[in-house]
């Protein structure tokens, strides 16, 4: 059978291959051996809080399960708009919000609405692999620009200006980022957006981890310059923001997210959403209304504090193991660690060091991590991503095992 070139262009998601190998190894392991620790996981280890679960059950038993409007329930769009006002002090009218089946559908809609065949989209290297594939599925081309620790592994306005050519259509970046957990300072993003606007391009910002922002300082130190935790929507109404109920709201498998677009783009996105998805899950939408109740928000904030406490403990531990994290993550639940020296100690080197180290850690320490390979090509052979979406005792156990291995 002939497969369309657009599908052939999509690379495998290597994190999934690693996860499969880890599960197989965990199954084969003899009874009594160490249980596998999954520090490769990209989703919260919490589920939806009680009010949200109850709201879902009520929606099902009351039969409120029919299709909703393609852009989502008005009540949910209003609640999301209220959240922007309350949490970020931003006026984001509900009519600019389109509810989607996760950030994944939001990204797909944005790319299909804006990218023509052959258009190039500038993205940071490293970045979340699926984002470049949304671009290529829309027949565009993702152009990965190498980033540095000094630039928090984010694009700079200078880079965007230098890389822009007649085929460039815009930029797509995530802040905080997956895999680095680092955000772009709002001022730098503003400068990027000015460059983009001067060319009549588009700025897409994936803010799926924005709710899980903690600032860059470890411990109790107050974030002096307050550079992080702001939505790109503060810059201007032409910025497109992608968001989700998956991470801060702990609802990965419910498949719910949203897109904020300039008003003029709503009709095109609505047409695409009607035809491609009809709507996001009605049950998930009814349930998500309860996310914004004070009791749920209090629970989400408790979890945010828990993620911060894990980061504060884990990053210095990695450093002490010889796995330096060049930039302290200011959000999300990831640590992007340079594993070059650690790998060398185990006799592993070369351009695939992080890939080989991943399998070595899996086999010898029963600790699974995500190798850099998925996230780009520049230096990714030297980096691994740890996820702190694991309770502190599991993180402690992982550190103890890695320490024993390096000895
Ligand atoms: C940066 C980034 N964007 C988008 C997604 C997709 O999220 P969703 O579950 O909302 O589709 C993920 C998932 O891990 C992600 O890390």
| Helix, strand or coil, per DSSP, at residue 240 | strand
pLDDT digits (tens, 9 = 90+) for 70-100: 999 999 999 999 999 999 999 999 999 999 9
Task: Tell me which residue of 108, 126, 112, 226 sits closest to 174, measured CA to CA.
Answer: 126
Pocket lining for ligand 1, CB < 6 angstroms: 42, 102-104, 128, 174, 178, 206, 208, 244, 246, 252, 257
pLDDT digits (tens, 9 = 90+) for 106-135: 999 999 999 999 999 999 999 999 999 999
Task: Tell me which residue of 103, 122, 64 sits closest to 256, measured CA to CA.
Answer: 103
Q: What angle do CA 19, 122, 181 make, to 5 degrees?
A: 45
Give the residue range(s) of CATH 3.40.640.10 domains in the chain: 50-291
Q: 29-33, 224-228, 286-290, 378-382 — which is least confidently predicted?
A: 224-228
pLDDT digits (tens, 9 = 90+) for 152-193: 999 999 999 999 999 999 999 999 999 999 999 999 999 999
Give the residue range(s) of CATH 3.90.1150.10 domains in the chain: 5-46+296-406
For residue 297 the two structure tokens come to 């928000």
Predicted pLDDT at 221: 63
Ligand 1 atom nearest residue 43's Cα: 14
Instruction: Please say if the pLDDT value at position 224 is more than 60.
Output: no
Predicted pLDDT at 41: 87
Give DSSP secondary structure letters for 123-190: EEES--HHHHHHHHHTT-EEEEEE--TTTTTS--HHHHHHH--TTEEEEEEESS-TTT--PPPHHHHH
Looking at the domain 50-291, which fold is it?
A: 3.40.640
Q: What is the CATH number of domain 5-46+296-406?
A: 3.90.1150.10
Whole-number Å distance, alpha carbon 34 to ligand 1 midpoint, is: 31
pLDDT digits (tens, 9 = 90+) for 307-343: 999 999 999 999 999 999 999 999 999 999 999 999 9
- Answer for the pair 357, 342: CB distance below 8 angstroms, yes or no: yes
- The b-or-e profile of 122-139 (16+ CB within 10 A means b, else e) is bbbbbbbbbbbbbbbbbb
- Answer for the pair 85, 79: CB distance below 8 angstroms, yes or no: no
Instruction: Please say if the pLDDT value at position 273 is more than 80.
Output: yes
Whole-number Å distance, alpha carbon 16 to ligand 1 midpoint, is: 14
Predicted pLDDT at 58: 98
Instruction: Please say if the pLDDT value at position 225 is more than 60.
Output: no
Ligand 1 atom nearest residue 257's Cα: 10
Is the pTM of the predicted complex or chain greater than 0.85?
yes
pLDDT digits (tens, 9 = 90+) for 364-406: 999 999 999 989 999 889 999 999 999 999 999 999 999 999 7
d(CA 405, CA 227) in angstroms, rounded, equals 38
Instruction: Please say if the pLDDT value at position 202 is more than 60.
Output: yes
Q: What is the mean pLDDT of residues 33-48?
A: 92
pLDDT digits (tens, 9 = 90+) for 44-57: 999 999 999 999 99
C-alpha distances (whole Å) from 185 to each of 115, 217, 320, 347, 375 are 26, 14, 28, 38, 21
pLDDT digits (tens, 9 = 90+) for 332-342: 999 999 999 99
Ligand 1 atom nearest residue 107's Cα: 4
Q: What is the mean pLDDT of residues 200-223?
A: 87
Pocket perturbation via mutation, ligand 1, pick of 103, 107, 174, 249 by most ligand atoms within 8 A of CB: 103
pLDDT grade, residue 228 (50/70/90)? Answer: confident
Q: Please give the residue that has the higher pLDDT: either 9 or 334.
A: 334
What average pLDDT does the chain have? Answer: 95
Whole-number Å distance, alpha carbon 41 to ligand 1 midpoint, is: 12
DSSP letter (8 states) at residue 221: -
- Classify residue 56 by burial, with Cβ atoms within 10 Å: 0-12, 13-18, 19+: buried
């Amino acid at each position: 059978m002939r497969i369309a070139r657009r599908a052939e262009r999509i690379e495998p998601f290597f994190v999934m291959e690693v996860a499969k190998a880890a599960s197989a190894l965990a199954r084969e392991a003899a009874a009594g051996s160490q249980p596998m620790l999954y520090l490769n996981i990209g989703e919260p280890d919490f589920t939806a809080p009680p009010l949200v679960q109850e709201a879902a059950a009520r929606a099902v038993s009351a039969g409120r399960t029919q299709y909703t409007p393609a852009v989502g329930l008005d009540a949910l769009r209003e609640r999301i708009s209220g959240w922007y006002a309350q949490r970020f002090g931003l006026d984001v009218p509900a009519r600019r919000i389109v509810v989607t089946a996760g950030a994944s559908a939001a990204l797909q809609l944005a790319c299909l609405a804006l990218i023509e065949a052959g258009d190039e989209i500038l993205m940071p290297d490293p970045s979340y692999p699926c984002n470049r594939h949304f671009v290529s599925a829309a027949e565009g081309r993702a152009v990965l620009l190498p980033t540095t620790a000094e630039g928090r592994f984010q694009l700079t306005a200078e880079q965007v200006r230098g890389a822009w050519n007649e085929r460039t259509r815009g930029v797509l970046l995530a802040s905080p980022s997956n895999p680095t957990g680092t955000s772009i300072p709002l001022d730098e993003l503003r400068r990027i957006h000015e460059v983009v606007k001067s060319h009549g391009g588009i700025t897409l910002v994936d803010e799926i981890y924005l709710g899980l922002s903690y600032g860059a300082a470890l411990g109790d130190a107050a974030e002096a310059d307050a550079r992080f935790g702001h939505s790109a929507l503060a810059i201007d109404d032409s910025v497109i923001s992608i968001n989700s109920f998956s991470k801060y709201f702990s609802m990965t498998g419910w498949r719910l997210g949203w897109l904020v677009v300039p008003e003029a783009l709503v009709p095109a996105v609505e047409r695409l959403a009607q035809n491609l998805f009809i709507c996001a899950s009605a049950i998930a939408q009814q349930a998500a209304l309860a996310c914004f109740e004070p009791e749920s928000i209090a629970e989400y904030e408790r979890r945010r504090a828990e993620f911060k406490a894990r980061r504060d403990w884990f990053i210095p531990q990695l450093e002490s193991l010889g796995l330096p994290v060049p930039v302290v993550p200011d959000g999300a639940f990831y640590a992007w660690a340079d594993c070059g020296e650690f790998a060398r100690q185990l006799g592993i080197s070369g351009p695939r060091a992080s890939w080989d180290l991943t399998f070595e850690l899996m086999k010898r320490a029963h600790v699974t991590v995500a190798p850099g390979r998925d996230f780009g090509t520049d230096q990714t052979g030297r980096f691994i991503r740890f996820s702190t979406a694991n309770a502190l005792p599991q993180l402690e156990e992982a550190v103890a095992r890695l320490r024993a291995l390096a000895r």
